[in-house]
Amino acid sequence: MRDVAIIGIGINKWGELWNKSLRDIYVEAALNAIDDAKIEKIDAMYVGSMAPGLFVGQEHLSSLLSDYLGHGPIPTTRVESACASGGLAIRQGFIDVASGMNDIVLVGGVEKMNDVDGATATDALASASDSEWEAFHGITFPGIYALMARAHMMRYGTTRTHLSQVAVKNHENGLLNPHAQFQMKLTVDQVSNSAKVADPLRLLDCSPVTDGAAAVIMCPLDMAKKISKNHAIVKLSGSGHATDSIALHSRADLTTLNSTILAAQQAYKMAKLGPKDINFAEVHDCFTISEIIISESLGFFEKGEGGRAVERGETSLSGKMPINPSGGLKSKGHPVGATGVAQVYEVVSQLRGDAGKRQLKNAKRALTQNMGGSGGSSLVHLWEVL
């Protein structure tokens, strides 16, 4: 297997992008990545996108996007694993380059979610839950995560305030991110008293509905050392991918994300690293409770301690384990297929020392964790700057 590096990254401003189509926002992010890498051609492309058919009526996405990108009849593949589609596309690109099949691979992610009304978007998202046993009976993702939150609160003493503190922290970080959808400061009271969506989760506990795209360029590490003159080189050191039952009722424990635990074990083993070696992480905070459970599942904190770690400030930009310096899904936004790729955009920016006002002091090794549905799939990747 060849070592793999990232030589280009691109993104666009996320939000409600009424004057741009899905193909516009994808091409914008992909061209930014190609420009950043200073390359003339790409050999293959992977695109993470969860439900373009439901959101904008467009399937056969990979051919459409490579055509509009103008890079010729290269092999292109759309990758789908619900909200983990972007993370899975990263893994497919990694396998492609590591295997020697292709040298320069563009991995992008995109979702345009605001062209349909809120109820249709909620139904489209709910198609990533167990449609017979969950969605059919009316539960949507805020409801599913509310069950997980309630169980975590009852078992470990996690409080309403802990949930709010996750949102406050991520919005504070998002204020420093020019690409973020919601650049606004929040207080604990504002989050705790925002409109109830599914008790105990409130509006400001939820990631929003977002239009956006992100892209990265991968190549063999040896090639990156020769062609990448303007940036520090970031190596992809570990990759893990695991699945779990989609339906919550099939799981032994609502407060544990087994797919994330297993994916993290694989990634740590491949990179010969452990949680203590990681300086910061971008994780899938689709709801405030998910960031708390994920931080435990990745081994950053003991089981049940995730909420109290946020309270102690350990996950803030100046804490000992900064989580979601980009603002996370909560503030940056969550265009589902793009999220896993945008996490890589953020860690590469940080590892290069290019993250502007939200730059972390000690950014040498990073982790990205991207999750489908309520944890039916998880991807964990580890990154090191050379």
Instruction: Tell me the closest approach of the beta carbon of residue 42 to ligand COA, in angstroms.
Output: 30
Of the residues 83, 206, 219, 286, only one is catalytic, namely 83
Residue choice 39, 98, 147, 203 for contact with ligand COA (CB under 6 A): 203
**CB atoms inside a 10 Å sphere around CB 273:** 17
Instruction: Tell me the closest approach of the beta carbon of residue 220 to ligand COA, in angstroms.
Output: 34
Place of tokens 């993470």: 48
Instruction: Tell me the closest approach of the beta carbon of residue 121 to ligand COA, in angstroms.
Output: 7
Active site residue 206: no
| Residue 182 interacts with ligand COA (CB under 6 A): yes or no | yes
| Residue 55 interacts with ligand COA (CB under 6 A): yes or no | no
Instruction: Tell me the closest approach of the beta carbon of residue 164 to ligand COA, in angstroms.
Output: 13
Amino acid occupying residue 14: W
Question: Which one of 48-56, 205-213, 224-232, 238-246 is the stretch in contact with ligand COA (CB under 6 A)?
Answer: 205-213
Query: In angstroms, how far is CA 384 from the centroid of its own chain?
Result: 18
Complex with ligand COA: residue 197 or 298, whichever CB lies closer: 197
Of the residues 152, 171, 231, 334, only one is catalytic, namely 334
Residue choice 125, 146, 166, 347 for contact with ligand COA (CB under 6 A): 125
Q: Is 266 exposed, middle or buried (0-12, 13-18, 19+ CB in 10 A)?
A: middle
Active site residue 334: yes
Contact 94, 236 (CB under 8 A): yes
Contact 76, 46 (CB under 8 A): yes
**CB atoms inside a 10 Å sphere around CB 233:** 17
| Residue 14 interacts with ligand COA (CB under 6 A): yes or no | no
Give the C-alpha separation, 294 to 369, whole Å. 8
Q: Collect all residues with Cβ–Cβ distance below 8 Å to 385 and sequence separation of at least 6.
A: 232, 233, 234, 235, 351, 352, 363, 364, 365
Binding site for ligand COA (CB under 6 A): 83, 118, 122, 125, 141-142, 182, 197, 203-204, 206-209, 286, 334
Active site residues: 83, 334
